[in-house]
Amino acid sequence: MPRSRQRRAPLTHPEAADIELLDVLHALSDPSRMTIVRILRAEPERACGTFPVDVAASTLSHHFKVLREAGLIHQREEANRRLTALRADELQVRFPGLLDAILAAAEPTEPAES
Amino acid sequence: MPRSRQRRAPLTHPEAADIELLDVLHALSDPSRMTIVRILRAEPERACGTFPVDVAASTLSHHFKVLREAGLIHQREEANRRLTALRADELQVRFPGLLDAILAAAEPTEPAES
DNA sequence: ACGCATATTCGATGATTGTCGAACATGGAG
DNA sequence: CTCCATGTTCGACAATCATCGAATATGCGT
């Protein structure tokens, strides 16, 4: 048996009540992960490979794990894809206004009215 | 001359407009630094040594540097003390609602009504 | 059954980070 | 002037982290 124990991850997500603020802040302090979350805010669900983040697949996978364990995203299996969604509603209950404020702050720097 | 070049730091702070969101999030993702900022929110100004953060003096100094360079705090010399203040107003202009939302989320976890 | 697309796990590597103690700098008190 | 309190810089160290390539797993076409 070719040591078959991989991708065995049952895709665990923390309970909404167990989401830690510092984990959320840390997760969002990385450019790639912030990009992922910003994209997810606009779209309901999206496959891993479809994010315009220019890193290796394994690195991307790592970022999803960090985001998932921080409680920011939810992932579900669909065929051989993994669909990712933002846990916006739960986050809103846990930390009211937090995600909105952070994502608003992440806008490209307002052009300042002419 | 005993290589006298230390504490030469002219205490530089980033311009409000140059404050980066990811730097702010990263700065706040450390427990000690979050504690410092939370205390600072209630008090206008405070000396470095007076924070109930249980780390070595040099470590504390490092945390202040991170917070200062992220644009979260302002420090000024007063005698041989260094007074620290939160840059709340400037932060509010740069990232409206961000600090409030984060600090609200950092509250001890509401006791849930009896 | 075979190959391909999607995505993860593993192991390694270099960079960043939090931490400390020792040395140093500064300003005020005795 | 000498001590002391305050706080920084320096150098070191261990831990964490972002990153990659290779190997692996899974499901769907052909």
- Spacing of C-alpha A33 from chain mean position: 7
- Helix residue spans in chain B (DSSP H): 21-28, 31-42, 57-70, 88-94, 98-105
Q: Looking at the 3D structure of chain B, how many domains does it have?
A: 1
| DSSP assigned state of A106 | T
Partner residues linked to A109 by β-bridges: none
CATH number at A47 reads 1.10.10.10
**B114 — pLDDT class (breaks 50, 70, 90):** low
Compute the nearest-CA separation of B89 from chain A (Å). Answer: 15
**Contacts with A22 from chain B: Cβ below 8 Å:** 28-31, 34
Could you tell me the distance in Å between the CA of residue A59 and the C1' of nucleotide C13? 14
Residue A11 covered by a domain = no
C-alpha R_g of chain A: 15
Q: Which residue of A has its CA nearest to B98?
A: A101
**Contacts with A18 from chain B: Cβ below 8 Å:** none
**Contacts with B106 from chain A: Cβ below 8 Å:** 21
Helix (H, G, I), strand (E, B) or coil at A82: strand
CA angle B2, B7, B10 (to 5 degrees): 135
Residue A26 covered by a domain = yes
Query: What is the span of the domain harbouring residue A92?
Result: 16-105
Could you tell me the distance in Å between the CA of residue B58 and the C1' of nucleotide D12? 14
CB B80 within 7 Å, strand C: yes
Residue A34 covered by a domain = yes
CB A60 within 7 Å, strand C: yes
Q: Identify residue B45 by its one-letter amino acid code.
A: E
Contacts of the segment B28-35: beta carbons below 8 A, 24+ positions apart? B28/A22, B28/A25, B28/B72, B28/B102, B29/A22, B29/A23, B29/A25, B29/A26, B29/A29, B30/A22, B30/B63, B30/B66, B31/A22, B32/B59, B32/B60, B32/B63, B33/B63, B33/B66, B33/B67, B34/A21, B34/A22, B34/B106
Identify nearest nucleotide to residue B32 by CA to C1′ distance: C18
Residue B84 covered by a domain = yes
Burial of A22 (0-12, 13-18, 19+ CB in 10 A): middle
What is the full per-residue pLDDT of chain A (114 aa) written as tens digits?
444 445 566 789 999 999 999 999 999 999 999 999 999 999 999 999 999 999 999 999 999 999 999 999 999 999 889 999 999 999 999 999 999 999 999 997 766 665
Identify nearest nucleotide to residue A68 by CA to C1′ distance: C8
Partner residues linked to A77 by β-bridges: A82
pLDDT for the residue numbered B2:
43
Q: What is the pLDDT of residues B39-90, one digit of tens each?
A: 999 999 999 999 999 999 999 999 999 999 999 999 999 988 999 999 999 9
Chain A / chain B CB contacts < 8 angstroms: 68
Residue A111 covered by a domain = no
Residue A37 covered by a domain = yes
pLDDT for the residue numbered A110:
65
Q: What is the ipTM of this complex?
A: 0.92
Counting Cα atoms < 13 Å in the Cβ hemisphere of A69 gives 11
Query: What phi and psi, each to the nearest 5 degrees, are found at residue A4?
Result: -85, 85
Residue A2 covered by a domain = no
Chain B residues at the A interface, defined by Cβ less than 8 Å, are: 21-23, 25-26, 28-31, 34, 94-98, 100-102, 104-106
